[in-house]
Structure 1
């Protein structure tokens, strides 16, 4: 049986975690857009201050940094820096046929770490709090990558 099929419990666990993380990335982008529309500020590019259906009263001041919008943008950027590595390392990790319990701990641990990182960032917790959840997620991805390398070297 192929390891990369939804009939394989480890791959199913990965697929669930991966789908949740893809949704996290995509919805975070929409959060940024929502905040820009709500505040009518924090726009990113000069062409964004052209008159249109959405921006009926453009103003160059709309390009100034707005922390409400920029916080969402920073969270999105952080997701884009971390989640793709999880998606890649997790998929290759599945091919090593790890135990289901280990895979679930790692996959769902990463999802939980990213959710906690989001909550910490959104609620303006200290850098130390955010860094704790970043570190947990990062160590999970590093472990999976090292596990794959060890499997390849010793296999």
Structure 2
């Protein structure tokens, strides 16, 4: 197994950190929607927040939109970390590796922005499938390399 090129690993580390920060940002985005709408997931959250108008709601469309975007991130970004790291161990071309890493991260950021803020298609679908295609390519190449 070839060693991972340190230059590519640096790119992976930088852009992966951006994705982690994006994932972390989804938590306050969800909380913002909950406080804006005065809807909470649990009765104790209402008592803790001291909002007398708050209510327990499980299906607010604005809160659920952010939660679905967050879930979509978890379903796609976490596997990407694993498969990309393994793929980098196969010795891909530095240009291709850097391009895929940057494109994946930018696609996921665009996906979230179009999902949560602009609520528009086809931008959301295109950004999803670009990132999904990159992950699929890396997974297949990794599988073939290690088989």
TM-score range, shorter chain: 0.7 to 0.9
Partner of 1:14: 12
Deviations 1:50-101 (A, max 9, x none): x22x1331644x4153222222111111111110011111111111121210
When the two structures are aligned, how many residues end up with a matched partner?
Answer: 145
TM-score by length of 2: 0.87
Correspondence 1:112 to 2:109: no
Aligned CA RMSD, in angstroms, stands at 2.0
Partner of 1:55: 50
Instruction: Report the Cα distance in structure 2 between the residues aligned to 1:97 and 1:17, rounded to whole angstroms.
Output: 19
Deviation at 1:9, TM superposition (A): 0.7
Pick aligned residue for 2:38 from 40, 62, 68 = 40
Structure 2: unaligned runs, 5 residues or longer: none
Partner of 2:68: 74
| Residues 125/85 of structure 1: CA separation in 2 closer, same or farther (3 Å cut) | same
Correspondence 1:89 to 2:83: yes
TM-score by length of 1: 0.83
Instruction: Report the Cα distance in structure 2 between the residues aligned to 1:150 and 1:38, rounded to whole angstroms.
Output: 49
Deviations 1:95-151 (A, max 9, x none): 11212101011101101111111121120102x432211111111011111111222
Instruction: Report the Cα distance in structure 2 between the residues aligned to 1:75 and 1:81, rounded to whole angstroms.
Output: 10
